[in-house]
Amino acid sequence: QQPVQSPQAVILREGEDAVINCSSSKALYSVHWYRQKHGEAPVFLMILLKGGEQKGHEKISASFNEKKQQSSLYLTASQLSYSGTYFCGTETTGNMLTFGGGTRLMVKP
């Protein structure tokens, strides 16, 4: 079953912060985050492991609440280059990811 992402879209000004949420109805081994720019392939950002471990990538970080089966992606001091569609991928069985519907992020000058 596909994880649910929210919001579906968000518009920011440069320097503003955003949070993208990903929620699953199944127990998860891990959560992966990818970013896809228009006309390009999804690119891996980070993996979140069981235990609430938080990972970071540039000014992008994320958390994973295993009990709630939820993950959140935090974008701080957003830059124009952060624009794109963000997908969470949830791992419930070995090496197979199910992707959410995506969150479209637009950062304006």
Residues that bind another protein (CB under 8 A): 2, 29-30, 32, 40-44, 47, 49-50, 87, 89, 91, 94-102
Nearer to another protein, 16 or 83 (CB): 83
Residue 80 CB, nearest approach to another protein (Å): 23
Minimum gap (Å) between residue 109 Cβ and another protein: 27
The nearer residue to another protein, 16 or 99, going by C-beta atoms, is 99
Q: For residue 78, what are the CA distances in angstroms to 33, 44, 45, 59, 75?
A: 17, 18, 15, 8, 6
Given the complex with another protein, which of 6 and 98 has the nearer CB atom? 98
Angle made by CA atoms 7, 19, 70, in degrees to the nearest 5 = 80
Taking CA atoms, 89 is separated from 7, 31, 32, 41, 79, in Å, by 16, 6, 5, 15, 23
Residue 4 CB, nearest distance to another protein (Å)?
12
